[in-house]
Amino acid sequence: MGCAKWVLVRKNRAMNVIVCVKQIPDPANPGALDASSNTLKREGKLILDESDSYGVEMALQLVDAAGGGEVSLVSMAPNSETSGLRTALAMGAAKAVLVSDPALLGSDALTTAKILAAAINRLGGADLIIAATESSDGYTGTVPEQIAEVLGLPSVTFAKKVSVEGGMLKVNRQTEDGYDEVTCPLPALISVTAGVVEPRYPSFKGIMAAKSKPVDEVTAADLGVTPVGWAGAGQKVSSITQAEARAAGEVIEDDGESFAKIVTFLEGLKVI
Amino acid sequence: MGINNIWVFAQVTNGAPTSGSLELLTKAHSMGATVSVWVAGDGAAVAGVLGEFGASKVFAVSYGSNLAGVAVASAMKASIDDGQAPDLVMFPQSYEGRDVMARLSVKVERTVLTNNVEIVADGESVTVTTPIFGGNTLVATTFTGGAPYLAAFRPKSFVPESVGGAAAEVVVVNVPDLGATGAAQVIAVHVEETTGPKLDEANIVVSGGRGLGESVKFEMIESLAKLLKGAPGASRAIVDAGWVPYSYQVGQTGKVVKPTVYIACGISGATQHMVGMKGSKNIIAINKDKEAPIFGIADLGIVGDLHKVLPKLIEALQGL
């Protein structure tokens, strides 16, 4: 595991942050399964998962507040896809490691975490690693915490407010009935909820600069992670069925009196 | 052989196990296994109710100011190393549940399957079902990597039922040395005050979305919910926009609700949202776009301006 790298003591206030980003099919289009692999179809152009734009923004703000350092990205995607990465680079990230390898098809969450952890180590680690709480397409929702465990790092998940003071993270962490105030020394990993910050739009200058920022493309073998893909997954899809569809009821145009329809409907259900 | 020994991680909130945790306990007990429950914190306080729903033992992890996830996962790993490995560990899809599961998965080198709504054991083979694409498609996935199998379930997947069991035996478990992973410390706990029924337990839920136009209009949603003795909810769009707290969110990344009546106001019906509410017994939708997907699942759909419909509806209900 990558623990040994973390003993490096930071010599100045500069803070390096790595953000785990996922490139996904545009959620505006209906998802589909590939019948041969039973995985989500992810061909064609992929975009930066909106959930990850918050992490990228958070990273940029923290580095800015620290007065130095840089934001790097790690991503795992098929077909050497970089369009989503370019968006994050255009926002201000400096560089990226992209793990793209046909062998990764069918990888489970644990394998994904090992791959991303290895990519983080390839960058030499960081003071802080940021991920979203879950992706918008697969939403397993465990990968950030799994990465922390693989790297032997402390973690604070579901962060809804984050600051760093004197090398110490201060996080408001979402709970079932409120929030906890949590402190954690760096290095550490956090997962951030959507809306934690307002993601910036890439500027034209940023978009142009992103085209030439370095993206280090590697395979699972380059990272020394095996087995991967279906071979390494502790699961297999045994069947895919269509759920019973919920039928649509009555749809009416409001004529100024439709509120009465709602009242009648509620009365019929004896809830008022 | 088969699934003889099941662990359930129970989320305890306000001194009581969540209904989602009792659902898992009920399901585990119905599978004919010996069921032990893991909780973060005080076991004695919940041993009665957990026993009533089928637990024979409660492992209570005294986690101090650590985050529960890493503490419970480490305690579970120590117990497994000690020869007490279960065949299956079931987690609620809660904040702590996800953290415990993720940490444990790396420690025991096992995959995780999350967002499930059903589980079937056939001999030693365990298959779970996950709805995808807004619940239109069901994917059944079988664990292949060997026990213990780690699975997380959405709330309201099963119906909690008392089996009338005696109080469970409480075993207090100390947290093993967490090393660097235990560096995060909780320094203060804040409980958000809420009035009225809880969102995921309310009989009526009134939710607002981007169609409200501006945050101040959410007051209409709150007024209507209050009049109906229900709970206000929200789409992810307006939670992300900061109009209402995350705790209001209904959907994939928020609460799963199954009320008698769900009233969606200015919500188009993104997959992300539908997953959290399509199990409602009756759905009323108000949206100005007649092509909005929400109308595809609504029992009563009103194509119109909610800024005109809601004030009239509120006035009419006030007059009843």
Question: Which of A140, A153, A158 is closest, CB to CB, to B95?
Answer: A158
Name which of A146, A162, A142, A150 is nearest A125 in CA terms.
Answer: A150
**Strand, coil or helix: A125:** coil
Question: Which of A142, A149, A156 is closest, CB to CB, to B114?
Answer: A142
Let me know the angle formed at the C-alpha of B237 by B233 and B238, rounded to the nearest 5 degrees: 55
Determine which of B72, B91, B105, B271 to mutate to test the interface with A (most A C-beta atoms within 10 Å): B105
Q: According to the model, what pLDDT value does residue A2 have?
A: 42
Q: According to the model, what pLDDT value does residue A44 have?
A: 75
Chain A residues inside the 8 Å CB shell of B110 = 110, 234
Residue A138, CB-side half-sphere exposure with 13 Å CA sphere: 21
Chain A residues inside the 8 Å CB shell of B109 = 110
pLDDT tens per residue, range A99-121:
999 999 989 999 999 999 999 99
- Two tokens, residue B295: 């109308």
Q: How many whole angstroms separate alpha carbon A192 and alpha carbon A49?
A: 13
Per-residue pLDDT band at B283 (split at 50, 70, 90) = very high
Judge whether B53 and B187 are in contact, CB under 8 Å.
no
In the predicted model, is pLDDT for residue A7 greater than 70?
Answer: no
Q: According to the model, what pLDDT value does residue B198 have?
A: 87
Residue B218, CB-side half-sphere exposure with 13 Å CA sphere: 21
Chain B CA closest to residue A136: B272
- Two tokens, residue B4: 């003889």
CB contact under 8 A, B98 and A269: no
Q: How many whole angstroms separate alpha carbon B33 and alpha carbon B273?
A: 35
This prediction's pTM: 0.88
Chain B residues inside the 8 Å CB shell of A34 = none
Is any Cβ of chain A less than 8 angstroms from the Cβ of B219?
no
pLDDT tens per residue, range A173-222:
998 888 999 999 999 999 998 878 889 999 999 999 999 999 999 999 99
The average pLDDT across B245-256 equals: 86
Q: How many whole angstroms separate alpha carbon A131 and alpha carbon A197?
A: 14
Is any Cβ of chain A less than 8 angstroms from the Cβ of B206?
no
CB contact under 8 A, A177 and B13: yes
| Strand B16-17, strand B12-13: pairing | antiparallel
Q: How many whole angstroms separate alpha carbon A174 and alpha carbon B297?
A: 31
In the predicted model, is pLDDT for residue A246 greater than 90?
Answer: no
**E strand or H helix that includes residue A63:** helix A50-66
Dihedral in degrees, nearest 10, Cα atoms B191, B276, B158, B95: -40
Is any Cβ of chain A less than 8 angstroms from the Cβ of B185?
yes
Chain A CA closest to residue B252: A139
Q: According to the model, what pLDDT value does residue B1 have?
A: 61
Q: What value of ipTM does the predicted structure carry?
A: 0.89
**E strand or H helix that includes residue B150:** strand B149-153
- Two tokens, residue B104: 């444990």
Judge whether A90 and A210 are in contact, CB under 8 Å.
yes
| Strand A155-165, strand A168-175: pairing | antiparallel
Is any Cβ of chain A less than 8 angstroms from the Cβ of B239?
yes
Question: Which of B113, B180, B181 is closest, CB to CB, to A235?
Answer: B113
CB contact under 8 A, B316 and A260: yes
Q: How many CB pairs under 8 A join A and B?
A: 268
From the CA of A214, how many Å to the nearest CA of chain B? Answer: 31
The average pLDDT across B13-24 equals: 92
Question: Which of A110, A174, A236 is closest, CB to CB, to B95?
Answer: A174
CB contact under 8 A, B300 and A250: yes
Judge whether B53 and B74 are in contact, CB under 8 Å.
no
Question: Which of A149, A237, A262 is closest, CB to CB, to B313?
Answer: A262
The average pLDDT across B24-29 equals: 97
Chain A residues inside the 8 Å CB shell of B259 = none
pLDDT tens per residue, range B234-249:
999 999 888 998 889 9
Beta bridge partners of residue B265, listed in sequence order: B208, B286
Judge whether B279 and B256 are in contact, CB under 8 Å.
yes
Q: According to the model, what pLDDT value does residue A244 have?
A: 79
In the predicted model, is pLDDT for residue B200 greater than 50?
Answer: yes
**Strand, coil or helix: B268:** coil
Q: How many whole angstroms separate alpha carbon A187 and alpha carbon B187?
A: 19
pLDDT tens per residue, range B47-84:
999 999 999 999 999 999 999 999 999 999 999 999 99
The average pLDDT across A78-82 equals: 92
**Strand, coil or helix: B7:** strand
- Two tokens, residue B305: 């301006």
Determine which of B13, B253, B306, B308 to mutate to test the interface with A (most A C-beta atoms within 10 Å): B253
